[in-house]
Structure 1
Amino acid sequence: MSTLIPSDLFIRNDREAAIAARAERLAASFALRAPEHDRDRSFPFANFADMKDAGYLTLTLPREYGGEEASLYEMVLSQERLARGDGSTALAVGWHLGQLMQLRLSRPWPERLFAKLCEEVVQDGALINNFSSERATGSPTRGGKPETKAVRADGGWLISGRKSYSTLSPIVRFFTLTASIEGSDTVGEFLVRQGPGVTVEETWDTLGMRATGSHDVLLERVFVPDEDTIFATGMPPKTKLPDEAGVLLHIPACYIGIAHAGRDFALRFALDHKPNSIGKPIAELPHIERQIGMMESELISARSFLYFVADRWDRQPEQREALKPELGLAKLLATNAAIRILDQAMRIVGGASLSKTLPLERMYRDVRAGLHNPPMDDAVIQMLALRALHERAVDLQ
């Protein structure tokens, strides 16, 4: 076996080992900056500069346009390790990487437009995200119609409205958004470049994930030319391809990565902390061993299912639509396990875990945010129930 491959059983070859090692190097630097960004809710521009220099921002781009063309498994592997340094940075860049992967697989844009985007990502480190959330509609996955409006203009569209939870807003060069087409029931999709008429209002001041830059974005008669219009009235119907769902595994990868970092901190503490009342490391105490075992059970279970689903999604493209419940379950298991792992880690460390001089309280706040990323737990549970009922009904016919 190559000396590049570490003991982590989820790393299967030299390419994956190199991808993981790069993420771990970046994470080590990010961990040093994370407390300041969390305290000040400031955007980690230096982290993104480091990722640009390391080639991280091109991880999921196609090889033909200068990218690494990472598989879903490789993106999960990399993102989980990046999140061990700073969850906010990992979650934020995950939306960029996920959208690029989705565009690479489904190619819903004119090739000229996609090629131009790839060129700017490779050459300049340009970032992209999708801004579809609005306060009035809630999560786009719930199906609410956007209040942002698109009005026909000469050679394009004028877009006006407000988008919320706009992660990466301080740094993105491009973003896609949805807008209701004036005078019709159609919801259009547009590619917008940062520029005149686009304003970032710094509204993001939250319990956790404080450095993702998920502010409100205001648009005032922003002109989008026809060549940057992805879908609008009069265009052929837009088909949602099954490839799109898998890229959301960057979300559970992030939260289980944070949990892994919290577990590692608690283990180091348990091995090093020797209260004078017992004269030995607390790791030797039965109740501490039990708490460590509970953390391991949660972590191994969630990681194993996450990597299993990612690998199956890569290897069986014809099954991707049928895998949607498993994709949702991977997120549900990872985010809820992450909360329980951090809870146990804080119990092991004790009262000191509440101190902002240690990372556990930040990690605990960060993993709570996972409950509010898509897909939501209730939607996943319903999806699993409906599939089980359908399968049983078919069996009884």
Structure 2
Amino acid sequence: MTGVVAAKGFPTPDLSEGALARVTAEVAATAEEYDRSGAIPLRGLEVAHRAGLLTASVARRHGGPGLGHRDVARVLTALGEGDPSVALIAANTLAAHASEAARPHWPEGLYADVLERSARGPAPVNAVRAEPELGAPARGGLPATTLRRTASGWVLNGRKAYATGGSALVCHVVWVVAEEPGVEPPRVGHALVAADLPGIGWVETWDHLGLRASNTHDVVYRDVELPQEAFVEIPRGADGRYRDPAATTGPGGFAHSALYVGVARAARTAFVDFARTRAPAGLGRPIATTERIQVVAGEVDAQIAVAETLLHGALLRVEAGDESVLPQLPVVKASIARAVVAAVQTAVAALGNPALSRRNPLERHLRDVLCVRVHPPQEDAALLAAGRRVLGHGAPG
């Protein structure tokens, strides 16, 4: 699949159902292979690149299509249905381009280099935030990774966990605390780091249940020298307190939800394929002809319908300027996670042992869909915030 070339060379993706289905099929062709090897899914990323999907959110001022949240969600659902490891790397890349499109903050030369690489081939970017000791940033706390001021710029030191994309990344957006003489409280923000700078090393820690090809390894920064403009501060609130942006769910946060909707759709397809071809000797016909399996198929489809409706319904309300939905976005996201997990688990439970065999793609889809729960906000945090919001407005004093 190819796109229409934009003014500066970035393709406008073909988002028709047929075109996205072809991308899904081509990416899916190598998903099992990469799941078993754990290697970076280069062929799947190349498919996404050729279709213009890795640059779909590049701003129009940079020659990109500048797609919005709903179109990006459709892209990621298609990729997630093919290979969620490819989709996760793509989601992080699209989020970085969307952030720059909404609020320019990258050093001009570095972003120009990323765009040039993106025109030639897959050029993944990721926000590298978690740390082995701190855990998930959305749970609170400040990073131990530091950016020390020097006469010519900065020096970066620290170790980050869960850096999806691994050595395929061309740029890291690293969450840091700035060390500057006389500046109190210290500034917090992101260091924009070209991936090929000296002092960057990888520790292959990723041996996970799902998304095995996402290469979500640890990365170590040892005296990485950066120019002055590489630091982008995250402003503190009016009360002087720092609030981590990752703790707030916005429409961009639904990119991860979208890719797991794709996993659920892939599981539905695998269930249907098995049910149509499995004909036990005692039954004498495919199990797809039985009411029990038909009810299960209906339940799987119902859960996917819930997830898709929540995903696109929430984004439509945001697009329409309905601010009343904004406080509910965390629980909407948690509800999507519940629905996609329920869809895949329902299919697996109905088929029993065959669905847990590595010869059956449902086994992989089950492992992959469970990873939806790790993306912030986790369900308990979303429900706690919602409960406090509701009770704060209506509970007796």
TM-score normalised by the shorter chain: which range applies? 0.7 to 0.9
Matched, 1:171 2:173: no
Letter in 2 for 1:189: H
Superposed CA deviations along residues 163-182 of structure 1, whole A, max 9, x for unmatched, are 10000122111111112223
Deviation at 1:391, TM superposition (A): 3.3
What is the alpha-carbon root mean square deviation over aligned residues? 2.8
Instruction: Label 1:232 to 1:384 Cα distance change in 2 as closer, same or farther (>3 A).
Output: closer
On the 8 A contact 1:309/1:326 being kept in 2, the answer is no
Range with bigger deviation, 122-131 or 89-98: 122-131
Residue 371 to residue 352, structure 1, CA distance change in 2 (3 Å): same
2:390 corresponds to which letter in structure 1?
A
**Hey, what's the Cα distance between the residues in 1 that align with 2:157 and 2:18?**
43
Q: How does 1:1-397 map to 2 (within 5 A)?
A: 18-109=15-106, 114=111, 117-182=114-179, 184=184, 185-194=186-195, 195-231=197-233, 245-316=250-321, 319=323, 322-392=324-394
Identity of aligned residues (%): 29
> Which residues of structure 1 form unaligned runs of 5+?
1-14
Q: Is the 8 A contact 2:13 2:51 kept in 1?
A: no
Displacement of 1:331 in angstroms is 2.1
Distance 2:392 2:126 in 1: 36
Deviation by residue 1:2-44 (Cα, 9 ceiling, x = unmatched): xxxxxxxxxxxxx997354443222212212111211121111
Instruction: Work out whether residues 180 and 188 of structure 1, in 8 Å CA contact, stay in contact via their aligned partners in 2.
Output: yes
In structure 2, relative to structure 1, the CA distance for the partners of 1:376 and 1:220 (3 Å cut) is same
Task: Report if aligned partners of 1:19, 1:74 keep a CA contact under 8 Å in 2.
Answer: no
Aligned-pair CA distance for 1:109: 4.2
Counterpart contact for 1:94–1:251, Cα < 8 Å: yes
- 1:388 positional shift: 1.6
Q: String of CA shifts for 1:113-134, please: whole Å, max 9, x gaps.
A: 6555444433554221100110
Corresponding letter in the other structure for 1:358:
N
Q: Any conservation in 1 of the 2:260–2:369 contact (CA below 8 Å)?
A: yes
TM superposition score normalised by structure 2: 0.87
Distance 2:179 2:13 in 1: 48
For residue 162 of structure 1, give the secondary structure of its aligned residue in structure 2: strand
Query: Shift in Å at residue 103 of structure 1?
Result: 2.2
The code of the aligned residue for 2:144 comes to E
In structure 2, do the counterparts of structure 1 residues 125 and 271 end up closer, same or farther at CA, with 3 Å as the change threshold?
Answer: closer
Farther off after superposition, 239-248 or 367-376? 239-248
Could you say if the C-alpha distance between residues 36 and 123 of structure 1 is closer, same or farther in structure 2, counting changes exceeding 3 Å? closer
Deviation digits for residues 75-119 of structure 1 (CA, Å, limit 9, x no counterpart): 111111111111111112111112211221233446676555444
Q: Distance in 1 between matches of 2:44 and 2:69?
A: 23
Query: In 2, are the aligned partners of 1:197 and 1:222 still within 8 Å (CA)?
Result: yes
Distance 1:340 1:76, change over 3 A: same
Task: Give me the whole-angstrom Cα distance separating, in 2, the residues matched to 1:138 and 1:337.
Answer: 26
Extract unaligned runs of 5+ from structure 2.
1-11
CA distance in 2, matches of 1:178, 1:149: 9
Between 18-27 and 145-154, report the one with greater CA deviation: 18-27
The DSSP-based 3-state class of the residue aligned with 2:327 is: helix
The residue matched to 1:170 in structure 2 has which SS?
A: helix
- Which amino acid in the other structure matches residue 214 of structure 1? T
| Range that drifts further, 188-197 or 176-185 | 176-185
1:99 and 1:248 mapped to 2: Cα distance? 12
User: Displacement of 1:327 after TM fit?
Assistant: 2.4
8 A Cα contact 1:199 1:219, kept in partner:
yes
Q: 1:285 to 1:232 in 2, by over 3 A?
A: closer
What is the deviation of 1:149? Answer: 1.4
Letter in 2 for 1:93: A
Give the residue type in structure 2 aligned to 1:127: P
Alpha-carbon offset, residue 272 of structure 1: 2.6
Deviation at 1:207, TM superposition (A): 0.8
Tell me how many residue pairs correspond in the alignment: 377
Query: Which residue in the other structure is 2:6 paired with?
Result: none
